[in-house]
């Protein structure tokens, strides 16, 4: 009995020593983690969960300081800061990276994914791995893909039921080539603007409308400055968690593994939080007084047809191999 108790005591001591030893190898660090959305948004909820996991796994030695709400600049500015090592981390629309790595433009193609689960399968599979492998050459490291969700169209001029209704509207898009081409193909006057400038642009009439997931429409209070929402679901945004390679290369393998594991755990939490909240966001938008249009299958088919040329236009620009790989995997997923 005493021998058994002694062995148990030794094992417990070894466990404590091992945990202490693991934490002892971790250096005290502060990580600046920037994003565009504000507290309460599923994106920021994922960041908060990531920070909690890192604090726990590092024994409090690594502090993740969050900078949501575009406080460190728009996506393009923040991306440059991450590349330069001024900001250690960010999470942003993966398609924004297309200005740096052309292959990332594939995720911006209109009506690409039919469901979030399709996007998960593609982004967590070989396509996502291939895209992430291109990041280090641009002083970035990818820790996985989170979710922003399906984008929908809002405006202040009139209800949009058909493609014809889009014509002539000044629509803000993200600063990326494919979304610009998509809305120009629909007949809009597409205007790229940094996200932190969008509310003011809508309020002053600089633009008539914008396109974002429901979470953003609520979180950024676009309900205050927009009258009409059309559930187009014209694009799905995977978000990518990126780390400055300048910072990453200073970490030892244990610290790198800790951050990667935390990002993966936070990914699963964040995706679920985003999807669970979607119905509530739509209810809140309706309650705000915005008129909500749900296009028929026939009307959505007309939207898809109008933007078909965008896929052909960007296939070679993005990289035919990357575009074909995505469509090939989607066919397999859909059993076609």
Q: What is the bridge-based pairing of β-strands 140-155 and 209-212?
A: antiparallel
Cα of 170 vs its chain's centroid, Å: 24
Residue 103 backbone zone (phi > 0: left; psi -120 to 50: alpha; other: beta): alpha
The distance of Cα 305 from the centroid of its chain, to the nearest Å, equals 26
Q: 192 versus 2: which is more confidently predicted?
A: 192
Q: What is the pLDDT of residue 22?
A: 53
The pLDDT, as a whole number, for residue 7 is 46
For residue range 103-154, what is the model confidence (pLDDT) as tens digits? 999 999 999 999 999 999 999 999 999 999 999 999 999 999 999 999 999 9
Angle at 119 between CA 113 and CA 120, to 5 degrees: 165
Q: How confident is the model at residue 20 (pLDDT cuts 50, 70, 90)?
A: very low
Q: Which residue has the higher pLDDT, 333 or 10?
A: 333
Checking if the pLDDT of 2 tops 90, the result is no
Lowest mean pLDDT among 160-169, 174-183, 201-210: 174-183
Average pLDDT over residues 188-200: 96
Query: What pLDDT band is residue 336 in, cutting at 50, 70 and 90?
Result: confident
Q: Is 228 a residue whose pLDDT tops 90? A: yes
pLDDT at 23: 62
Walk me through the domains of the chain, giving residue ranges and CATH numbers.
28-334 (3.40.190.170)
Q: How many CB atoms lie within 10 A of CB 56?
A: 10
CA–CA distance, 275 with 285 (Å, rounded to integer): 16
- In percent, the amount of the chain with pLDDT more than 70 equals 93
Contact 163, 186 (CB under 8 A): yes
């Amino acid at each position: 009995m005493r021998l058994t108790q002694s062995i148990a005591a030794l094992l417990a001591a070894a466990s404590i020593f091992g945990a202490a030893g693991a934490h002892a190898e971790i250096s005290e660090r502060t990580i600046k983690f920037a994003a565009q959305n504000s507290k309460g948004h599923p994106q920021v909820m994922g960041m908060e969960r990531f920070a909690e996991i890192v604090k726990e796994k590092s024994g409090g030695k690594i502090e993740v300081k969050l900078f949501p709400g575009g406080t460190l600049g728009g996506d393009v500015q923040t991306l440059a800061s991450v590349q330069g090592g001024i900001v250690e981390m960010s999470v942003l629309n993966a398609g924004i990276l297309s200005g740096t790595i052309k292959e990332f433009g594939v995720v911006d193609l209109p009506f690409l994914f039919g469901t979030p689960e399709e996007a998960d399968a593609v982004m967590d599979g070989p396509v996502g791995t291939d895209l992430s492998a291109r990041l280090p050459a641009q002083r970035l490291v990818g820790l996985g893909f989170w979710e922003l969700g399906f984008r929908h169209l809002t405006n202040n001029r009139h209800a949009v039921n058909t493609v014809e209704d889009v014509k002539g509207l000044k629509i803000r898009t993200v600063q990326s080539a494919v979304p610009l081409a998509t809305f120009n193909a629909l007949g809009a006057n597409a205007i790229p603007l940094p996200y932190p400038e969008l509310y003011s642009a809508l309020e002053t009439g600089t633009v008539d409308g914008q396109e974002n997931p429901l979470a953003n429409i609520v979180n950024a209070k676009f309900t205050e400055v927009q009258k009409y929402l059309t559930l187009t679901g014209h694009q799905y945004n995977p978000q990518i968690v990126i780390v400055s390679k300048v910072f990453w290369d200073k970490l030892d393998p244990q610290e790198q593994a800790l951050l990667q594991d935390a990002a993966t755990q936070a990914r699963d939490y964040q995706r679920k939080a985003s999807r669970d909240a979607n119905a509530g966001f739509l209810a809140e938008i309706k309650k705000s007084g915005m008129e909500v249009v749900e296009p028929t299958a026939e009307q959505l088919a007309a939207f898809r047809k109008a933007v078909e040329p965008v896929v052909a236009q960007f296939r070679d620009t993005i990289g035919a191999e990357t575009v074909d790989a995505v469509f090939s995997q989607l066919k397999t997923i859909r059993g076609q």
